[in-house]
């Protein structure tokens, strides 16, 4: 089903995902329509498949990005009780999902793309600079690309003057497959908060499942296995 969502334009790709039921939330659809995947994919940007971006990394397939957004959207949108959601996008790679997230968090929201390969940190940022909206996100520091080991999350304030907002995240998206559900990431999740994370099913690391981890307002953590997936690994940086 998912592969049939390919289109010849960005709008067609998104419309096909909408018709297939991969995108069901109109606010998610609007965000997808605002971000041209051609700014982030090196080839065949409107094909519903992953594409290599160098350094053994890939921009995930559009249907995977749709699944991620659909699972976390209620935690991404600004509300009266939380007008400035903070989002950590671990393994930001091409920067495409980072941009989508920034479209959803509202005026005062913050999205940090965290990469462990310097060239990919730069790639995410330079891809985002291809559009006016992307440049505005970067110049206003609504979006920041940082270098670091995503397995540890990001504990310090992401930008100057942000100290009062704390260092916990409303949403943590992990774009690479973890060996385990890292304790630092659970700890850095706000209560309430939500994490989307692919994890190896066993020690062989062949089969993987993506999990939705939610923390309620009292700090109780619930884990839901969404489906089997195939992601690049969350690892040490290559030498
Ligand atoms: N969401 C990205 C996915 C890129 S592939 C996109 O769709 O473009 C996964 C990314 O995770 C790669 O860019 C890889 O460099 C990064 N990665 C792997 N291990 C990491 C780690 N320990 N810390 C941070 N990033 C990591």
Interacting residues of 75 by C-beta distance below 8 A, sequence separation 6+: 85, 170, 171, 192, 193, 194
**For ligand 1, is residue 232 a contact (CB within 6 Å)?**
yes
- Residue 164 burial class via C-beta count within 10 angstroms: exposed 0-12, middle 13-18, buried 19 and up: exposed
Quote the pTM value. 0.97
Chain-centre distance for alpha carbon 31: 13
**For ligand 1, is residue 114 a contact (CB within 6 Å)?**
yes
CA of 58 to the centre of ligand 1 (A): 8
Alpha-carbon distance of 227 to 222, in angstroms, equals 16
CB atoms within 10 A of CB 79: 10
**For ligand 1, is residue 59 a contact (CB within 6 Å)?**
yes
**For ligand 1, is residue 97 a contact (CB within 6 Å)?**
yes
Report which protein residue has its CA nearest ligand 1's atom 17: 91
Q: How many helices (H) and strands (E) does the chain have?
A: 7, 9
CA of 66 to the centre of ligand 1 (A): 17
For ligand 1, mutation pick of 39, 102, 111, 116 (most atoms within 8 Å of CB): 116
- Which ligand 1 atom sits nearest the alpha carbon of residue 50? 7
For ligand 1, mutation pick of 91, 97, 115, 151 (most atoms within 8 Å of CB): 91
For ligand 1, mutation pick of 176, 179, 200, 230 (most atoms within 8 Å of CB): 176
Per-residue pLDDT at 4: 77
Residues annotated as catalytic (active site), given as ranges = 60
pLDDT digits (tens, 9 = 90+) for 174-202: 999 999 999 999 999 999 999 999 999 99
pLDDT digits (tens, 9 = 90+) for 129-184: 999 999 999 999 999 999 999 999 998 888 887 888 888 999 999 999 999 999 99
pLDDT digits (tens, 9 = 90+) for 19-72: 999 999 999 999 999 999 999 999 999 999 999 999 999 999 999 999 999 999
Report which protein residue has its CA nearest ligand 1's atom 14: 91
Interacting residues of 42 by C-beta distance below 8 A, sequence separation 6+: 51, 52, 53
Average pLDDT of the segment spanning 89-110: 97
């Amino acid at each position: 089903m998912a592969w049939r969502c390919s289109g010849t334009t960005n709008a067609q790709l998104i419309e096909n995902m909408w018709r297939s039921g991969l995108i069901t939330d109109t606010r998610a659809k609007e965000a997808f329509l605002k971000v041209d995947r051609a700014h982030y994919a090196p080839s065949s940007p409107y094909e519903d498949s992953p594409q290599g971006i160098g350094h053994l990394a890939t921009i995930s397939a559009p249907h995977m990005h749709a699944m991620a957004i659909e699972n976390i959207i209620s935690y991404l949108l600004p509300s009266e009780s939380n007008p400035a959601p903070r989002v950590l996008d671990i393994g930001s790679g091409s920067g495409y999902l980072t941009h989508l997230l920034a479209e959803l968090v509202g005026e005062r929201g913050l999205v940090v793309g965290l990469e462990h390969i310097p060239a990919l940190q730069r790639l995410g940022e330079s891809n985002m600079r291809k559009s006016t909206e992307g440049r505005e996100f970067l110049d206003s520091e609504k979006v920041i690309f940082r270098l670091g080991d995503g397995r540890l999350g990001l504990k310090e304030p992401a930008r100057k003057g942000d100290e009062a907002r704390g260092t916990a995240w409303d949403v943590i998206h992990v774009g690479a497959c973890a060996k385990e559900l890292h304790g630092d990431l659970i700890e850095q999740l706000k209560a309430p908060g939500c994490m989307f994370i692919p994890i190896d099913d066993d020690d062989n690391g062949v089969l993987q499942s993506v999990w939705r981890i939610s923390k309620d307002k009292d700090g109780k953590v619930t884990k839901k296995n969404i489906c089997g997936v195939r992601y690049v690994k969350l690892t040490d940086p290559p030498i």
